[in-house]
Structure 1
Amino acid sequence: MEAKLMLIKKGAEANLYLEPFTKVLHQAGGGKVIVKTRIPKRYRIKDLDLRLRESRTALEAGLLSDAKRAGVPTPIVYEVDKVGMRIVMEFIEGAQVKQVLDRLGPAEMRKVCRIIGKQIAKLHRAGIIHGDLTTSNMILKSDGKVYFVDFGLGGHDSSTEERGVDLHLLKRALQSTHFRIATRAYAAVISGYRAEFGKGAEEIINRAKEIESRGRYVAKEERAWH
């Protein structure tokens, strides 16, 4: 089935396909869906690889649903296939924040970044770590909502350290991709985070600064095994 789908993104851990709802699920639906298929790793022992892909597939689907319950816009999960190692989810019509953030006016940029900060705080308050907070994994809709996608490296963790790593990774992503506005953008993210998280926010914000100062970088592969 995978070969018949339209590949739109090939990743290290999974491939994304875009297809009509009726082709993947059933005739009663409309619109399009995203099919995320976690790919096998040949360097792993086969049984271990199967268990890891199955657990990560189930975990990601759960995180998407948990995030939505926490008040963070995420795609609706329609189907979790732990045999085919795939998640069928809602296709979010919009633009990657990565593609538009630099083109926004100063006030609109700050507004979007404050929304992002508030949504990260909602995740963290719910004990959810995204694990790959970049503007590539955020979709801005025409109504102003920002959807978070790709929780493939996420998990459940309420530690100050992992929350700090989440913020640190976003700051690095902003500096790398949006270097001209990175300082202002991150300041707006932190403003939104502080306002939404409330008591305890400063400890996490300060931990992110500490992580930056000690030069800690958590590679994706390491986080994938976490």
Structure 2
Amino acid sequence: MYLTSGAEATVKLEDGIIIKERVPKSYRVRELDERIRKERTKAEARLLSEARRAGVPTPVIYDIENSTIKMQYLDGTAMKYVIDEKLSEQIGILIADLHGAGIVHGDLTTSNLILFNDRVYMIDFGLSFFDSSTEARGVDVHVLFQTFESTHKDHEKLIEAFCRGYRQDFEQADEVLERVKDIEKRGRYA
């Protein structure tokens, strides 16, 4: 059963396992396309594993083959449907752990956060990368805040709760949150 199909990959559920496969790009030379898809798949799996090692709940990877990742299916609820201040604070803690490990998610939305067995899990590391810069971390948080603002009427409270969690154990939190404000200002006048 197909769960989603995007520009980069298809995601299907088969026998209780998620199968994410990067789709071929016909505009690229076949050999180059295969290499790019294989490298991006390996990178995504590595980032998922590193995030998990840093204490961020992610799906367990079962297998990687060419441009396909087989991983744990989390039969949970997308955060966009259940988020509240308490969960937003938990998300702040998780993102602090992720950023503390030098990982930027790259697509931080409430659709890529799943509530499963009373824990918040992070999914879809397809756009993730290693980066410890304040700018990259700030853009990551800014994307999440934009998601809050566009989909949740009580977004100010969600942002405040996130910031409480983010600041708990992350030394660079205030620096990153200040950068988020700068990024927001840049976007208004662009």
TM-score when normalising by structure 1:
0.80
Identical counterparts, % of pairs = 49
Matched, 1:120 2:95: yes
- Paired residue type of 1:19: E
1:196: Cα distance to partner? 2.5
Match of 1:9 among 4, 20, 23: 4
Deviation at 1:183, TM superposition (A): 1.2
Q: Distance in 2 between matches of 1:134 and 1:48?
A: 31
Question: Which 4+ stretches in 1 moved above 3 angstroms?
Answer: none
Q: Distance in 2 between matches of 1:187 and 1:47?
A: 48
- Aligned AA for 2:74? I
| 2:80 aligns with one of 86, 91, 98 | 98
> Any idea what the Cα deviations from partners look like across 1:65-94, whole Å, max 9, x if unmatched?
101100000000000012xx1000001121
Moved more, 45-54 or 67-76: 45-54
Question: Any gaps of 5 or more consecutive residues in structure 2?
Answer: none
* Higher relative contact order (Cα pairs below 8 Å, separated by 6+ residues): 2
Distance, in Å, in 1 between the alignment partners of 2:149 and 2:33 is 34
| Cα shift at 1:121 | 0.4
Q: Secondary structure at the match of 2:156?
A: helix
The count of residues paired between Structure 1 and Structure 2 equals 188
Offset of residue 47 of structure 1? 2.8
Could you state the TM-score of these two structures normalised by the residue count of structure 2?
Answer: 0.95
User: Any unmatched runs of 5+ in structure 1?
Assistant: 1-5, 21-31, 102-108, 217-226
Deviations 1:5-41 (A, max 9, x none): x211111111101011xxxxxxxxxxx1100001112
CA distance in 1: counterparts of 2:68 and 2:54, whole angstroms: 24
Which residue of structure 2 aligns with residue 208 of structure 1? 180
Is 1:170 the counterpart of 2:170? The answer is no
- Aligned-residue Cα RMSD (Å) equals 1.2
From 11, 31, 46, the equivalent of 2:30 is 46
